Structure 1
């Protein structure tokens, strides 16, 4: 069984706590990205989302002493099959906070990088 990747859904970058307005200024006004404000639901963990071509850029504040939550998120076909494959290799999965239009989980690669898999519903 192989994981069938559909596309890159989003990239999440992190900023220092309290710098949200500066992030909006940089990504929205300087880079010219359109902020996504009408999702129909509250964004998780105070995130700020921008449209960036056919993918999204997610920004979230984090404490510099935490293990970074920066990550790419890949849309996959058959999220449950991907879950089972990773678990069969002893990879620890983390169920992420609920977002109404997607199922998702994350994991760390052998080098500590966070990777998220999602399936749109």
Structure 2
């Protein structure tokens, strides 16, 4: 038995902040919101995806931001995303260099850390 792929990443969010999630995940990261299945929609939260990435935001009544654990997304223009996030008021942070990548961390509206990585050639 072998793991084949990650189907989606689930992040937590506080109740009632779906519009904030849309502004960040669709507005800044460029993901498309998709409808949740009817039996899950009543729980709140949002689902977003692109051709290769699926992010589910689920409401956690005891929400605490993921400040260390995080997804890392490959992107095609990390500087553009960093500028867009910063201009929209989202916190960004540099991290130690990682050979072969330009990368930053950006924090969603709830304080969850998201790593954005762009492959670079020497």
Q: What TM bracket, shorter-length normalisation?
A: 0.3 to 0.5
The answer to which structure, 1 or 2, has the higher relative contact order (CA under 8 A, 6+ apart) is 1
TM-score, normalised by the number of residues in structure 1 = 0.44
Query: Higher strand proportion, which one?
Result: 1
